[in-house]
Amino acid sequence: MESQGSCSVFDHVVRAPEDPILGVTVAYNKDQSPIKLNLGVGAYRTEEGKPLVLNVVRQAEQTLVNDKSRVKEYLPIVGLAEFNKQSAKLIFGSDSPAIQENRVTTVQCLSGTGSLRVGGEFLAWHYLERTIYIPVPTWGNHPKVFTLAGLSVKTYRYYDPATRGLDFQGMLEDLNSAPAGAIVLLHACAHNPTGVDPTLEQWEQIRQLIRLKGLLPFFDSAYQGFASGSLDSDAQSVRIFVADGGECLVAQSYAKNMGLYGERVGALSIVCKNADVAGRVESQLKLVIRPMYSNPPIHGASIVAMILRDRDMYNEWTIELKGMADRIISMRHQLFEALLARGTPGDWSHIIKQIGMFTFTGLNSEQVAFMTREYHIYMTSDGRISMAGLSSTTVPHLADAIHAAVTRVA
């Protein structure tokens, strides 16, 4: 049979490059070596190197499956109401005046990515400024999500390679020269990929500058509870902004802190000046969501809602969460000590100063490639390693690899 035109209308489509982050796991899986280490994507692993489903999540799941009255109907466009309510409380605090005054609209989205995309598209449609400032560096997917949402992306200085810490002056200068109304992406805690967070005092200065310049903050909160082990501490940056009565957007993810990665559970909150505005904003958010996927998936949100509203389950969750955060902090210390013990040249204290799941090692792409080739260690080429992928048994192997890379590769 002769085909129409004998040529596909998509004949010219070229193969896209591998996603740099997710591509790491693809490469890792292909590697046949018995000793290999995946420090790429930020998914938590136990000391045995296994993925972890939290006990409290298992409990919630069992309850759901045993509940014969549950049906699989469509959620509303904005998602599961109980989930939205609990998510807002989690990030803003249960006593948050913004919640009590009904000026927060919260919509369930597909994890952090989905929340950022919906928020970005809403801004592109309804906000007077179409520029968003993102830190350098940031999660690789940020600029792509916002660009496709219809925003134009600019940057502000953030990481200082010389100190492996925050370039606070540079950050303030760049935010200061942003046009009034510009959107600013802020990592609420456990900055990805650097693990470098502002102190609370620095956050206060950032807040003052942002409010003075009339910039619009958009928080990405993907690690609440994972950074310090305390849900409230990790939300402080967001809460000081909300406390001043101003407006902001917050994208929340439950991928890491509840281990719900593949279920795609998250929420977008927009804090507005008053309830009337919040209502109108919510109605417009629905118009962004409906042509994207109509309504969000029910399973993961049902698990989260159940855990957050049941006091015992909530408490159990906080304990399991702290357990994960503590294990990561312990890995930081073990790696740091292992490098000290080997006399690896350089200052490695940033490993224990940085916060959250990732360490920005400071290794360059040649060193990273060397470590992959010679030691079968998989990480992103910017030198970011996921501490969650380490265990006491694998720390020595990584320390050896870093030592070799630093001493043998420029």
Reduced to 3 states, what is the DSSP secondary structure of residue 394? coil
Between 280 and 333, name the residue whose CB sits nearer to other proteins: 280
Cβ proximity of 278 and 272 under 8 Å: yes
What amino acid positions are annotated as catalytic residues?
139, 220, 256
Nearest approach, Cβ of 332 to other proteins (angstroms)? 23
| Cα separation, 335 vs 33, whole angstroms | 23
Task: Give the residue from 273, 248, 260, 280 showing the smallest Cα distance to 92.
Answer: 248
| Cα separation, 144 vs 82, whole angstroms | 31
Encoding tokens for residue 56? 């409290």
Between 105 and 394, name the residue whose CB sits nearer to other proteins: 105
Nearest approach, Cβ of 113 to other proteins (angstroms)? 4
Rg value, the chain, Cα: 22
Cβ proximity of 146 and 153 under 8 Å: yes
Nearest approach, Cβ of 38 to other proteins (angstroms)? 12
Nearest approach, Cβ of 160 to other proteins (angstroms)? 29
Encoding tokens for residue 155? 């940057």
Between 5 and 34, name the residue whose CB sits nearer to other proteins: 5
Between 113 and 334, name the residue whose CB sits nearer to other proteins: 113
Nearest approach, Cβ of 262 to other proteins (angstroms)? 4
Bond into 193 cis (ω within 30): yes
Nearest approach, Cβ of 367 to other proteins (angstroms)? 27
| Cα separation, 20 vs 39, whole angstroms | 13
Task: Give the residue from 349, 358, 351, 354 showing the smallest Cα distance to 386.
Answer: 358
Between 106 and 354, name the residue whose CB sits nearer to other proteins: 106
Between 13 and 162, name the residue whose CB sits nearer to other proteins: 13
Task: Give the residue from 112, 368, 374 showing the smallest Cα distance to 249.
Answer: 112
DSSP 54-119: -HHHHHHHHHHHH-TT---PPPPTT--HHHHHHHHHHHH-TT-HHHHTT-EEEEEESHHHHHHHHH
Nearest approach, Cβ of 300 to other proteins (angstroms)? 7
CA–CA–CA angle 208, 223, 392 (5° rounding): 130
Between 41 and 355, name the residue whose CB sits nearer to other proteins: 41
Which residues have a Cβ under 8 Å from the Cβ of 114 and sit 6 or more positions away? 264, 266, 268, 296
